């Protein structure tokens, strides 16, 4: 009886995960979208730059950007709230103003901020889901871009306008574009989670498909 019950519960769990995984697979192909860019992006800036994105559980978003050429570091953390609540237990409550976020360090001579935006909207998450991503719900899973300067703000806002104008999604983009006050690095056990736990059911059904999409849609940006 115990074995039968275990098999039944395993079947229910797998069915739920598979059902949830179909939600994240509905992101349209944005390869043909050419965002308007009235302000030329500075692609010759010397030194590394930083970008911060929030798009649901940070495990998958971090892993996606880790595989983008020109990205030297991708780190899970929290943004939007203050230091005293910048921890997983507090953020998971959904009332800290924090969003699970990823800080991306990149070389602008190898990958542009606009290319990072394209990956973020095309592969990393569904920007039309309000305060949720797939099975994860709450403001801590909201879609947001935390810009670090006026150029990033302009590029992000212009990109979103272009996506909505092209009606790339059946619903409007709900991604917030807000200034970054401070990024707080998440606990050590959250860093490189996909790489360290590739067999975790959540990773298998929600995040590994994102890496496959990145490799398929953007082979010129893919790195192992």
Q: Which of 71, 21, 24, 68 is nearest to 51 (CA)?
A: 71
Q: Is residue 103 part of a domain?
A: yes
How many domains does the chain fold into?
Answer: 1
The whole-number pLDDT of residue 29 equals 60
Question: Which CATH number characterizes residue 93's domain?
Answer: 3.30.1060.10
Choice between 94 and 44, residue whose per-residue pLDDT is larger: 94
Q: Is residue 85 part of a domain?
A: yes
Please state, as a whole number, how many other Cβ atoms lie within 10 Å of the Cβ of residue 223: 11
Q: Which of 32, 76, 56 is nearest to 194 (CA)?
A: 76
Q: Which of 104, 115, 112 is nearest to 66 (CA)?
A: 104
Using the predicted structure, report yes or no on whether residue 6 has a pLDDT greater than 70: no
Q: Give me the catalytic one of 57, 119, 124, 163.
A: 57
- Among 36-50, 83-97, 120-134, 207-221, the least confident range: 36-50
CA distances from 202 to 83, 159, 208 (A): 28, 30, 9
The whole-number pLDDT of residue 132 equals 97
Q: Is residue 224 part of a domain?
A: no
* Mean pLDDT, all residues of the chain: 87
**Tens-digit pLDDT profile for residues 58-83:** 999 999 999 999 999 999 999 999 99
Tokens of 122: 């095309």
User: Is 57 a known active-site residue?
Assistant: yes
**Tens-digit pLDDT profile for residues 157-178:** 999 999 999 999 999 999 999 9
The whole-number pLDDT of residue 65 equals 98
Using the predicted structure, report yes or no on whether residue 7 has a pLDDT greater than 50: no
Q: Which of 116, 108, 1 is nearest to 52 (CA)?
A: 116
Beta-carbon contacts of 143 under 8 Å, excluding residues fewer than 6 positions away, are 54, 55, 56, 125, 126, 127, 129, 133, 173, 174, 175, 176
**Tens-digit pLDDT profile for residues 185-198:** 999 999 999 999 99
The whole-number pLDDT of residue 175 equals 98
Using the predicted structure, report yes or no on whether residue 41 has a pLDDT greater than 80: no
Q: Is residue 52 part of a domain?
A: yes
**Tens-digit pLDDT profile for residues 116-160:** 999 999 999 999 999 999 999 999 999 999 999 999 999 999 999
Give φ, ψ of 183 to 5 degrees: -100, 130
The whole-number pLDDT of residue 49 equals 97
- The enclosing H or E element of 77 equals strand 71-79
The whole-number pLDDT of residue 44 equals 64
CA distance 67 to 72: 10
Look at the chain and count its residues.
224
The whole-number pLDDT of residue 33 equals 57
What domain range is 158 assigned to? Answer: 2-26+44-217
Tell me, what DSSP letter sits at residue 68?
B
Q: Is residue 223 part of a domain?
A: no
Residues forming a β-bridge with 71:
106
**Tens-digit pLDDT profile for residues 94-123:** 999 999 999 999 999 999 999 999 999 999
Q: Is residue 33 part of a domain?
A: no
The whole-number pLDDT of residue 37 equals 47
The whole-number pLDDT of residue 40 equals 60
Q: Is residue 32 part of a domain?
A: no
């Amino acid at each position: 009886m115990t074995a039968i019950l275990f098999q039944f519960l395993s079947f229910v769990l797998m069915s739920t995960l598979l059902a949830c995984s179909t939600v994240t697979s509905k992101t349209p192909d944005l390869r043909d979208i050419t965002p308007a860019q009235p302000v030329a992006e500075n692609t010759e800036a010397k030194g590394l730059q930083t970008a911060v994105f929030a798009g649901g559980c940070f495990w998958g978003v971090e892993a996606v950007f880790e595989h983008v050429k020109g990205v030297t570091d991708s780190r899970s953390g929290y943004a939007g709230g203050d230091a005293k609540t910048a921890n997983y237990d507090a953020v998971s409550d959904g009332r800290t103003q924090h969003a699970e976020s990823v800080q991306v360090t990149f070389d602008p001579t190898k990958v542009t901020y606009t290319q990072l935006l394209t990956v973020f909207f095309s592969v990393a998450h569904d920007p039309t889901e309000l305060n949720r991503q797939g099975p994860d719900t709450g403001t801590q899973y909201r879609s947001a871009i935390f810009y670090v300067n006026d150029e990033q703000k302009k590029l992000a806002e212009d990109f979103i306008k272009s996506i909505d104008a092209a009606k790339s999604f059946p619903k409007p983009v709900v991604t917030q574009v807000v200034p970054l006050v401070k990024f707080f690095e998440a606990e050590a056990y959250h860093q490189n989670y996909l790489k360290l736990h590739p067999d975790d059911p959540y990773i298998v059904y929600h995040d590994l498909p994102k890496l496959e999409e990145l490799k398929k849609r953007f082979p010129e940006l893919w790195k192992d």
